[in-house]
Amino acid sequence: MILYLSIIFVCSFVLALLNIFVGTLFFDYSVWFIILAIAGSVVFEFLVDGLFAFIINKLPNKWFGIENKHFKVSKRSIKFYEKIKIRKWKDKVWDLGGLGGFRKNKMIDPNSPEYIERFIVECNKGVVTHRIGYFVGFLDIFIIPLKYALAIGLPIAFVNLFLNILPTMVLRYNTPKLTTLYYRLLKKNA
């Protein structure tokens, strides 16, 4: 959590400084509007991401089940995740799954196939939520006045994109391992 908040704060601070320096020198940007637009954009990103997370959390679990081929992770993706050494940094990625009622940063019952299946469903819901976040983050560009959209809205949208890609990769990295565990537990219990 501290890492994410630090990234958001540092990027917002640097963006504010750049806009204040460049915007007030070369354009007629208001310092106060720059600060308010950046703060408002960050809050907007949180709210929109949270709204979509809430909506997706209310959808039927069967849509996100283990048998759904849309969530299958390819061997190529798994190799990519291993190549970028995701295992070393995945625990530093912010998990807000607890807000939806299911934390994914710690396994509570690793010997229960029902729990593992629910874990996989929650991972798949998280993947959809974050993937939608890739795109809705760019709505910010249309909220603030056009002359600020490229200087403020676009950089914040790209930070939001980056901060949504990381958890998507972690969730997709974990899902094949959970699927293997799930089928192993089913076989063991049969």
Segments forming the whole domain that contains residue 157: 2-189
* Distance, CA of 175 to CA of 38 (rounded, Å): 35
* pLDDT value of position 99: 58
Q: What are phi and psi of 160, to 5 degrees?
A: -60, -40
* Distance, CA of 99 to CA of 64 (rounded, Å): 18
Neighbours of 122 (CB within 10 A): 20
* Distance, CA of 160 to CA of 81 (rounded, Å): 20
* Distance, CA of 174 to CA of 126 (rounded, Å): 12
Mean pLDDT of 120-141: 92
* pLDDT value of position 96: 66
Q: What is the pLDDT of residues 17-57, one digit of tens each?
A: 998 888 766 677 788 888 988 999 999 998 998 899 999 99
* pLDDT value of position 155: 93
* Distance, CA of 136 to CA of 36 (rounded, Å): 20
Q: What is the pLDDT of residues 55-71, one digit of tens each?
A: 999 999 999 999 899 99
* Distance, CA of 160 to CA of 154 (rounded, Å): 10
DSSP string, 51-64: HHHHHHHHS-GGGG
And the tokens for 182?
Answer: 């799930």
Number of domains in the chain: 1
Mean pLDDT of 79-97: 87
Q: Fill in the amino acid letter for 135.
A: F
